[in-house]
Amino acid sequence: MDDPGTDGRLVDGDEDAVPPPADFRTRAAASDPAVYERFDREGPEAWRAAADLLTWDREYETVLDDSDPPFYEWFPDGRLNAAANCVDRHLDERRNQLAIRWFGKRGERRSYTYLDLHREVNAVAAGLRDLGVEEDDVVTLYLPMIPELPIAMLACARIGAPHNVVFAGLSAEALATRIDAADSEYLITCDGYYRREDAFNQKSKADNARIRAEGELSAAVVVDRLGDELAVSLGDDEHEYDALVDAHDGETVEPVARDATDLLFVMYTSGTTGRPKGVEHATGGYLAHVAWTTRKVLDVRPDDTYWCAADIGWITGHSYGVYGPLATGTTTVLYEGSPDYPDRDRVWDLIERNAVSVFYTSPTAIRSFMKWGAEYPESHDLSSIRLLGTVGESITPKAWRWYREHVGGGDVPVVDTWWQTETGAISLATLPGITPMKPGKVGPPLPGIDARVVDEDGEPVDPGESGYLTLASPWPGMLRGLREGDERYLREYWVEGEDGWRYRTGDGATVDEDGYVTILGRVDDVINVRAQRFNTGELEAAIVDADGVTEAAVVGDGDGHIVAYVTTKSGVEPDEALRDAVADRLASAVGDVARPDRVVFTPELPKTRSGKIMRRLLEDIARGEEFGDVSALRNPEVVGEIESTVREMS
């Protein structure tokens, strides 16, 4: 089959297929199947439908400039401001509607109407200007899930300063690398935040990063999250967030009209080599694609209360926690805490309390919910839910059904969405009012997305055969490039074939007769753990840095944990202390998120005859799964030994 995009909507007699619920279909944002044909017929021009969801300062005429592939430009002659699209344009119709409902870790609550949001975004934008931030200066944000994070993002967007959000759980070392790599002279962080029961000092990590960074910061802004619980001292170039807001309260800053191709933000993510890549997103194409998919795939409406549970420190939180919902003018829930505190029903309690109608989370979270038991969701009224979404890794049919049954009341659409930091927005998914769902399969590509599963030579594979997932034409949300330059952008992602340029996603996949794609996992050196991406080389290099270690291999166990296999120098006793040292190295190099769940000592790592570590095999062992023939290994005898060590540990 050569084009899953056109064949993907007709599901003939597939008994596992679940049709869109009839009552959902009648009110769905996308309900006319002709949308697929329209995109096929019109090509890139059809994406006008997405761009027309936005308010432009200067209307675009050209949809796509593809004169210099694969450096594509979307809506290149249009101008717009992302913050004005997420805030200002809603003021006429819904200034007193809630934009953000925030729930803090200690039970605190804060709500912002669109008018409140407008006021604070303007004050922060004015404050940043006052500190010297100019258009195109990159501002690094190192904040947990507090309202100041989306507000700071929008303030940056307002003045045309690209943001560079670094996940709050990453280490000082990781922050320093990202500040330097982005050439960022401004930082917004906080005194600290609550982790589990304890106040945790974020400022000292930020201070540490400033010492490590090669470049000098011009100024920093510090949010007071913990009040008296953590007193931090501020240097001359450090400003308290609240004081900055007070000083500029009531000021308005004219939103800067940006070229659609101008940088909205940079987001670092793990790639196929050790150093993280700075993925650059352009203002117009990104926002158009995100707004369109928020409407048509997640079916979010302005009168919804919507909750994307992902952390804003990653792309899902950027696209579907901030830009998508606010561009749509809906009310979005922001939650700082963990799903099991104070109890395992916290998520369901928040859904009930806020009458959340659309909920978007990851399979990792769903697996935890399943483990905790159906009694938690069942003890709450979840009848407000109209649609459920999932993203980040494959969801098993069993988890899909559990989610639909126990959270969705058995009858709502469950939309599995595939995309990446680089794609910017959802790329493969069913359209919930049109396309049947198949539990465990992502679904066909969205209209306008030219996804193909191909072999090594770029030839489409037969249904059921595994191949590489590639995107054969550009799409509006695509990265406009990498911070590291054109050469790395080309090398990381693009191949030129006979019929043009293909974007390589790095994922292995199969496709069925109906064009539904099943994701098999990464085919490169990236692992997905807890819906976050890590580069194995980066993690392994950090472990090998620990004294006494010679070699390391890291894998995900399929349950949200990292497992590290480690060999030690001769004479070094692999004991608990070394185990802690390995875990600490990962935490300080990357962050606590990368702390391994298990460190498995082994005399040798299984290798092919050419010396390549057999990570797939180690992953099977970590997952407790059957593994295939090991006779082609150079050292097959270690496999049994490793397996029994792992079995004893679990």
Task: Tell whether omega for the bond before 302 is within 30 degrees of 0, i.e. cis.
Answer: no
Select 151 or 442, whichever has its Cβ closest to ligand WTA: 442
Task: State yes or no: residue 420 binds ligand WTA (CB under 6 A).
Answer: yes
Task: List, in order, residues 6 or more apart from 271 with CB less than 8 Å away.
Answer: 277, 492, 526, 535
Task: State yes or no: residue 582 binds ligand WTA (CB under 6 A).
Answer: no
Least Å from the CB of residue 320 to ligand WTA = 9
Select 357 or 417, whichever has its Cβ closest to ligand WTA: 417
CB atoms within 10 A of CB 569: 10
- Measure the N-to-C terminal CA separation of the chain; round to a whole number of Å: 43
Task: State yes or no: residue 239 binds ligand WTA (CB under 6 A).
Answer: no
Query: Cα separation of 414 and 441, whole Å?
Result: 11
Task: List, in order, residues 6 or more apart from 474 with CB less than 8 Å away.
Answer: 44, 64, 66, 69, 70, 72, 74, 503
Least Å from the CB of residue 107 to ligand WTA = 30
Of positions 392, 424, 481, 591, contacts ligand WTA by CB under 6 A: 392
Task: List, in order, residues 6 or more apart from 74 with CB less than 8 Å away.
Answer: 47, 63, 64, 65, 260, 261, 282, 284, 285, 288, 474, 476, 478
Select 304 or 507, whichever has its Cβ closest to ligand WTA: 507
Task: State yes or no: residue 522 binds ligand WTA (CB under 6 A).
Answer: yes
Select 521 or 548, whichever has its Cβ closest to ligand WTA: 521
Q: What is the CA radius of gyration of the chain?
A: 24
Q: Hey, what are 178's tokens?
A: 């990202």
Select 478 or 582, whichever has its Cβ closest to ligand WTA: 478
Query: Cα separation of 254 and 273, whole Å?
Result: 41
Farthest CA pair distance, the chain = 73
Candidates 2-10, 141-149, 404-412, 413-421 — which segment interacts with ligand WTA by CB under 6 A? 413-421
Task: State yes or no: residue 415 binds ligand WTA (CB under 6 A).
Answer: no
Select 221 or 442, whichever has its Cβ closest to ligand WTA: 442
Task: State yes or no: residue 519 binds ligand WTA (CB under 6 A).
Answer: yes
Select 488 or 634, whichever has its Cβ closest to ligand WTA: 488
Task: State yes or no: residue 88 binds ligand WTA (CB under 6 A).
Answer: no
Task: State yes or no: residue 442 binds ligand WTA (CB under 6 A).
Answer: yes
User: What does each C-alpha distance from 424 to 84, 362, 477, 518, 637 come to in angstroms?
Assistant: 20, 17, 5, 20, 44
Task: State yes or no: residue 393 binds ligand WTA (CB under 6 A).
Answer: yes
Task: State yes or no: residue 316 binds ligand WTA (CB under 6 A).
Answer: yes
Query: Cα separation of 257 and 132, whole Å?
Result: 19
> Taking phi first (over 0 means left), then psi (-120 to 50 degrees means alpha), and beta for anything else, what does residue 571 get?
left
Of positions 203, 533, 579, 595, contacts ligand WTA by CB under 6 A: 533
Provide the mask over 251-280, with x wherever binding to ligand WTA is found by CB under 6 A and - wherever it is not.
------------------x-----------
The number of residues that bind ligand WTA (CB under 6 A) is 22
Of positions 189, 294, 421, 602, contacts ligand WTA by CB under 6 A: 421
3-state secondary structure string, 568-630?
ECCCCCCCHHHHHHHHHHHHHHCEHHHCCCEEEECCCCCEECCCCECHHHHHHHHCCCCCCCC
Instruction: Classify 236 as helix, strand or coil.
Output: coil
Select 238 or 416, whichever has its Cβ closest to ligand WTA: 416
Angle between helices 114-130 and 148-158 (to 10 degrees): 60
Least Å from the CB of residue 514 to ligand WTA = 17
Provide the mask over 469-508, with x wherever binding to ligand WTA is found by CB under 6 A and - wherever it is not.
------------------------------------xxx-
Of positions 39, 359, 419, 503, contacts ligand WTA by CB under 6 A: 419
- Write out the residues near ligand WTA by the rule CB under 6 A: 269, 314-316, 391-394, 416-421, 442, 505-507, 519, 522, 528, 533
